[in-house]
Structure 1
Amino acid sequence: MSNEEIINGLNYLDNLKELDSKSSKLNLKAATQSDLLSQSTNYLAELGQYKRAIDTNYESVEAMNTSIQSIHSTLSQSIQQNTQFTHQVSHIKDSISTTQSKLKSVEKFISIFTLPQEQQQIISSKDYIVNYPLLDALTQLNKIRDNAQLLLTPSGDPSVAALDILHSSSLLYESAYGKIFRYLKHQFDIKYAKSLVVDVEPLHVDSLSHLSQRNDLYLETLLHLTKLRRHLLQSHFLTALSQFENNQDIITDPIKYSAELLAWLHQHAADEKELLKDLLQSKPIEEALSSSLQDVSSRIRPKLQLTHALNFTQRSSQLTELISFYQNTLTQSIPVACISDLFTNL
């Protein structure tokens, strides 16, 4: 019931003319006022509770505001920390990228200056087999050593890295060339020392080509080869010479005898030249060829001198022409020292 309704009710009671008793009016008014007072009291109590609720809510709002400010502060710190963390991650990422780049450079450096394990085993094996895998491994090893030479300073002072690479590869280097050296000497002993006509194998050619990078071993190998060929040619020449002397009399037919000697020399010198050209390819053969023919030419010279000394007839001019012909032919086709010496002052 609203206050306005209560007041209207009181006014209504005051105006009642039907009520006989004034006390009844007063009692009713008192009861109404008491009810109004009770309702007002209840209203005030509820209002107090509402105020206390508002105060409590205000405190809660204050607490929430404090919490929000704390959360905001924490969030700001988190954002700042996250920014710092992002910078650190970016720095770490850059460091990782730099490290990976350096690692790739190191791996490339190692690949340039390290012989693959398989090729190391081929060279360092205890057997003396020489084949193309060994030559390929040696080629790669020489590239590594050549690259190490590039590490030298402009003044020529070796760097520590260059010395380490050259030192660590020296054992394999010597082992590979030692194998090729022994292999070629063995091949020369069993093939080139027994037959004047030899089918030159590509592996022999390539092995000699590799060995030429070690000049000392290369020259020693050629010396061994020319010694074998010199003895073989001399043996065949002595056999042929005995046949010439059985068939031809140096005194009665010196021209034919001399022609047989010089024709034999011409043929075998040409064959020996072709053999050395096939074996040595583009490398000089003159010294090796002269060494191979040395014994034969030194044995032919006194024979030709003897034919001159014993020939007092008109045929001496024919002998001179014959010797002159072979001199021109041989010195042009076989331009080596022993051939020139053969015809000097003959």
Structure 2
Amino acid sequence: METMALHQETAYERLYRWIQNECRLLTGEASDCNPRLCEGFANLEDRPILFKYSLDECSNARRASVVRNFIDALTRGGPGGHPRPIEDYSRDSLRYVGDMLAWVHQCTASEKEMLENLLKKCSKENLEESVKMALSHITEGLCRPLKVRIEQVIVTEAGAVTLYKLKSLLQFYKQTIQGYCTLSNDCPLL
């Protein structure tokens, strides 16, 4: 009996290391989840600590990828120059901030979908909270570059009407992202 328990613990440790390695590969733009990875997460639910560490590893990899993609969207644009870099529109305050927030909204929705797909075989009672926490961690990486650029726009913008429109735009995206993705209340993005 003791030998079986030892073999089981060894198997969980190997599964955890395999999931860690697989999660480190989830750095591409369109991260389709390996079905075996979904199974691995479902099997690790019996070990909450290993499950949490695995989800943290996945969140860290996705966070790095999302930040890199955001900086690329700001400075390089899309493949072949289409769409153009968002920073090309920095002179038009509303479009600049709107494009950044639209990118963040699209990214948040995509990451939520990816996480739900990754954890689809896990029990439903833990799924929502796990997705919220992971999504909050992933999007937290966008806060600094987004905040710096929005503050820059606010400081340089002199028109009260434009500032009011910016405030309305920020409120709209806050409500949109909050409503669609139900991030945790302490999420720095909101």
The alignment's TM-score, normalised by the length of structure 1, stands at: 0.47
SS of the residue corresponding to residue 137 of structure 2 reads: helix
Of 57, 74, 99, the match for 1:260? 99
Residues 342, 175 of structure 1: alpha-carbon distance in 2 compared, 3 angstrom cutoff: closer
Question: In the alignment, is the contact (CA less than 8 A) between 1:293 and 1:338 conserved in 2?
Answer: no
1:146-203 superposed Cα distances (whole Å, 9 cap, x missing partner): xxxxxxxxxxxxxxxxxxx3x232211112112211211122223x12x121222322
Question: In the alignment, is the contact (CA less than 8 A) between 1:185 and 1:221 conserved in 2?
Answer: yes
Residues 340, 212 of structure 1: alpha-carbon distance in 2 compared, 3 angstrom cutoff: closer
Task: State the one-letter code of the partner of 2:60.
Answer: K
Indicate yes or no: 2:89 matched with 1:248: yes
Report percent identity of matched pairs: 23
**Rounded Cα–Cα distance in structure 2 between residues aligned with 1:256 and 1:210:** 46
Indicate yes or no: 2:21 matched with 1:174: no
Residues 340, 180 of structure 1: alpha-carbon distance in 2 compared, 3 angstrom cutoff: closer
**Rounded Cα–Cα distance in structure 2 between residues aligned with 1:201 and 1:299:** 31
| Consecutive unaligned residues in structure 1, runs of 5 or more | 1-164
**Greater C-alpha Rg:** 1
1:231-286 superposed Cα distances (whole Å, 9 cap, x missing partner): 111111111111222x112xx31111000100000001100000000111232310
1:22-60 superposed Cα distances (whole Å, 9 cap, x missing partner): xxxxxxxxxxxxxxxxxxxxxxxxxxxxxxxxxxxxxxx
Q: For this pair of structures, how many residues does the alignment match?
A: 173
Question: In the alignment, is the contact (CA less than 8 A) between 2:154 and 2:163 conserved in 1?
Answer: yes
Shift of 1:230: 0.6
SS of the residue corresponding to residue 188 of structure 2 reads: helix
**Rounded Cα–Cα distance in structure 2 between residues aligned with 1:320 and 1:338:** 20
Task: State the one-letter code of the partner of 2:9.
Answer: E
**Rounded Cα–Cα distance in structure 1 between residues aligned with 2:73 and 2:186:** 19
1:207-241 superposed Cα distances (whole Å, 9 cap, x missing partner): 10111111111111111111111111111111111
Residues 340, 175 of structure 1: alpha-carbon distance in 2 compared, 3 angstrom cutoff: closer
Question: In the alignment, is the contact (CA less than 8 A) between 1:277 and 1:285 conserved in 2?
Answer: yes
Shift of 1:337: 4.0
SS of the residue corresponding to residue 341 of structure 1 reads: coil
**Rounded Cα–Cα distance in structure 1 between residues aligned with 2:139 and 2:189:** 11
The alignment's TM-score, normalised by the length of structure 2, stands at: 0.84
CA RMSD of aligned residues (A): 1.8
**Rounded Cα–Cα distance in structure 2 between residues aligned with 1:271 and 1:339:** 20
| Consecutive unaligned residues in structure 2, runs of 5 or more | 76-84
**Rounded Cα–Cα distance in structure 1 between residues aligned with 2:38 and 2:187:** 29
Of 284, 288, 292, the match for 2:138? 292
